[in-house]
A and B are shown apart, each in its own frame.
Chain A
Amino acid sequence: MASESNMVAVPSQNIPSGPPLTGGSPDKAEAIKDFLRAFLRHKSALIGSIIVLMFLLMAVIAPLITPYEYTERSQELLAPPSADHWFGTDEMGRDLFTRVVYGSRISLWVGFVAISGSIIIGSLLGLIAGFYGGWRDSLISRFFDILLAFPGILLAIAIVAMLGPGLNNALIAIAIINIPTFGRLMRSRVLSVKEEDYILAARAMGMKNSRILWKHILPNSWTPIMVQGTLGFATAVIEAAALGFLGLGAQPPEPEWGTMLSDARQYIQLAPWTMIFPGLAIMLTVLGFNLLGDGLRDLFDPRMKR
């Protein structure tokens, strides 16, 4: 909605005061360019994003780069890496490279959906708790405390045990256990943002609470949520793998990395590649998201501006 054509240009020579200012509306493009430049200069952000993009690309074009179906069996069981099977085969003769590549689809999907769910529910609760305070705050904060009182993975196991094993239920469990992380972060941000002068000014303008929340408080509070979301993505990937490993997440023959690890653990001495490659995939994904998250945190921190 910037710079509409029917806005009449007013001659600017009769400005009575004010120092010369930096540019007009092209400033937004400039800001994006600045951010990109800083991003490219930030090593860990750059490496992290390359890893993340690599897995993302793998997930998207999986059928194009894999020579087999992920359930397709060959005659060679537990074959070591070779030209035919880059990562070797598992105990059923399935191509491990194919399964690891397809596994990235599951892991990224679980991470994305679970963390989106945590962010939406957590932020909403945090927003209400921080903005309205009082009994709403007490209620919501105690709810967070209760969730945080359990070790995350134990709570996830309990939830999956209640709902029944399966990828979708694992996803729900991961979303639930990550709610307080985002909720408390949002609450603390809102507590500080709502004391800002522009919030008082908005009130003095007669704006409604709901409008102030959506227009002024939320946009000024969500940067740390984005950073935490990137880091949370890594946690979610680990948690999904852990649930898979315990047999509570994705069920065979789904090529989930954690499930693959679990199936492979009896062959660890006989055919170590069956564990190494899925394990490596988990580690790299987590590393990628952590590096990216750390980088974003630095880049969004105004004190790091050069």
Chain B
Amino acid sequence: MAQPVLEISQLKLHFFTDKGRVKAVDGVDLAVHEGEIVGLVGESGCGKSVTSLAVMGLIPQPPGKVVAGTIRFQGKDLTKASPREMRRIRGNEMAMIFQEPMTSLNPLFSIGNQLVEAIRTHRSCSKQEAKNMALEMLKKVGISRSGILDEYPHQLSGGMRQRVMIAMAMVLNPRLLIADEPTTALDVTIQAQILDLMKALNQEFGTAILLITHDLGVVAEMCDRVVVMYAGQVVEETDRRRLFRNPKHPYTQGLLKSIPKLEEQKKRLYSIPGQVPNPLGMPKGCRFAPRCEFAFDVCGRAEPQLLPVEDGHLSRCWLHQEREEGRGHEPDHAIAQSQ
């Protein structure tokens, strides 16, 4: 494949709070290629939203700070871009939609006003041209009545507002769309419509999509590749097929097991024991070890690396790394690194 649209490598983004340093994103690698839909999965607080906001340059600094790593967007390192350059890229080459369509539009201005504003932030064109562009884009997201431009956000349902948000994000034909849980706040039937819409736009415009979600059902529906995050780190990365057929990391396995299945008549739904570690005091060694049913002595002492298990399938777990280097043998370099 060609050069990725977005390539995050070894990104470390920490928040410096009064209580100490919160390592919200701690060495994340991620790539999104042209026309691809990549899912970024994990439970609340694992750093997936922070990663996406960091890409957009929307993390308030301070308290946040990119400590290490690069975010390359179309070859350009965004961690070194000036605020002015970031503004030019945001909304233009890279757009974002959010979880809450109900509150993502300014209640005081009409839909048309806000879309025109979005267009004219980046393109020098007349209001009329911008209006025409807006109408055309709204038609593509399935709103074809002409009165829509004069309507106000409170007149629209959540699904319609998310369509408007998508139209606003896509109207300048960005290369990358970051969707932060775009369907979480919507009804299930509307969810499916919005996902279909995003997929259709992805195919029509070739826009790469980074889809952030905690819903594996959405992943199954949408994504080409999936990145699973846990406690600020990527724990597994693979394509959609292999994620569901043959998950490697115990955390991913746990996530998949905790989806209710129709055919099984279990009394209780499986849940991963324990809790997400406190971001101020990450456990030594593997961050998932305290909750992992396969954990053994190495796990508590040294941090595993994100290494390929097979071609195009990466996992951050001693179970797989041990196998390569001989069972029972402790990899010294990893221990050295963690100290």
Instruction: Identify 20 residue pairs between A and B in the complex whose beta-carbon atoms are under 8 Å apart, listed by A's number.
Output: A4-B131, A7-B131, A12-B146, A16-B193, A17-B159, A18-B160, A25-B150, A198-B103, A198-B107, A200-B98, A201-B104, A202-B106, A204-B58, A205-B91, A205-B168, A206-B91, A215-B106, A215-B117, A216-B106, A219-B106
Assess the B98–A201 pair: CB atoms within 8 A. Answer: yes
A202 contacts which chain B residues (CB < 8 A)?
Answer: 106
Alpha-carbon distance A255/B108, docked complex (angstroms): 44
Assess the A15–B142 pair: CB atoms within 8 A. Answer: yes
Alpha-carbon distance A164/B223, docked complex (angstroms): 75
B residues adjacent to A (C-beta < 8 A): 56, 58, 86-92, 95-96, 98, 100, 103-110, 113, 117-118, 121-122, 127-128, 131, 135, 139, 142-147, 149-152, 155-157, 159-160, 163, 165, 168, 190, 193
A residues adjacent to B (C-beta < 8 A): 1-4, 6-12, 14-19, 21-25, 27, 196-198, 200-208, 211, 215-216, 219-220
List 5 A-B pairs, minimum CB-CB distance, nearest first. A206-B91, A205-B91, A206-B90, A24-B147, A25-B150
Alpha-carbon distance A4/B106, docked complex (angstroms): 22
Alpha-carbon distance A6/B95, docked complex (angstroms): 30
Assess the B103–A18 pair: CB atoms within 8 A. Answer: no
Least Cβ–Cβ distance between B163 and chain A, in angstroms:
8
Assess the A22–B155 pair: CB atoms within 8 A. Answer: yes
Alpha-carbon distance A17/B195, docked complex (angstroms): 13
Chain B CB count within 10 A is highest, among A9, A14, A24, for: A24
Given contacts A10-B145, A200-B104, A216-B106, 19 further A-B contacts (CB under 8 A): A7-B135, A10-B139, A16-B142, A18-B156, A18-B163, A21-B160, A27-B151, A201-B165, A204-B58, A204-B90, A205-B91, A205-B118, A205-B168, A206-B87, A206-B121, A207-B91, A207-B121, A208-B87, A219-B106
A11 contacts which chain B residues (CB < 8 A)?
Answer: 144
Alpha-carbon distance A9/B146, docked complex (angstroms): 6
Assess the B92–A6 pair: CB atoms within 8 A. Answer: no
Interface of chain A, helix or strand or loop or mixed? loop
- Known contacts A18-B157, A205-B168, A207-B121; decide if A200 and B58 are in contact (CB<8 Å): yes
Chain A CB count within 10 A is highest, among B86, B128, B150, B156, for: B150
Q: How many A-B residue pairs have CB under 8 A?
A: 118
Least Cβ–Cβ distance between B137 and chain A, in angstroms:
13
Least Cβ–Cβ distance between B149 and chain A, in angstroms:
7
Alpha-carbon distance A203/B121, docked complex (angstroms): 11
Least Cβ–Cβ distance between A216 and chain B, in angstroms:
5
Residue in chain A with minimal CB distance to B139: A10
Assess the B90–A203 pair: CB atoms within 8 A. Answer: yes
Chain B CB count within 10 A is highest, among A16, A17, A201, A219, for: A201
B165 contacts which chain A residues (CB < 8 A)?
Answer: 201
Least Cβ–Cβ distance between A71 and chain B, in angstroms:
49
Contact of A8 among B146, B150, B155, B160 (CB under 8 A): B146
Alpha-carbon distance A202/B90, docked complex (angstroms): 10
Residue in chain B with minimal CB distance to A3: B150
Alpha-carbon distance A207/B86, docked complex (angstroms): 10
Alpha-carbon distance A21/B151, docked complex (angstroms): 10
Assess the B110–A2 pair: CB atoms within 8 A. Answer: yes
Alpha-carbon distance A204/B113, docked complex (angstroms): 17
Residue in chain B with minimal CB distance to A16: B142
Residue in chain A with minimal CB distance to B60: A133
A10 contacts which chain B residues (CB < 8 A)?
Answer: 135, 139, 144-146
B103 contacts which chain A residues (CB < 8 A)?
Answer: 196-198
Assess the A205–B121 pair: CB atoms within 8 A. Answer: yes
Alpha-carbon distance A196/B100, docked complex (angstroms): 10
Alpha-carbon distance A9/B20, docked complex (angstroms): 59
- Known contacts A197-B98, A220-B108; decide if A17 and B88 are in contact (CB<8 Å): no
A197 contacts which chain B residues (CB < 8 A)?
Answer: 98, 100, 103-104
Alpha-carbon distance A11/B146, docked complex (angstroms): 8
Assess the A206–B190 pair: CB atoms within 8 A. Answer: no
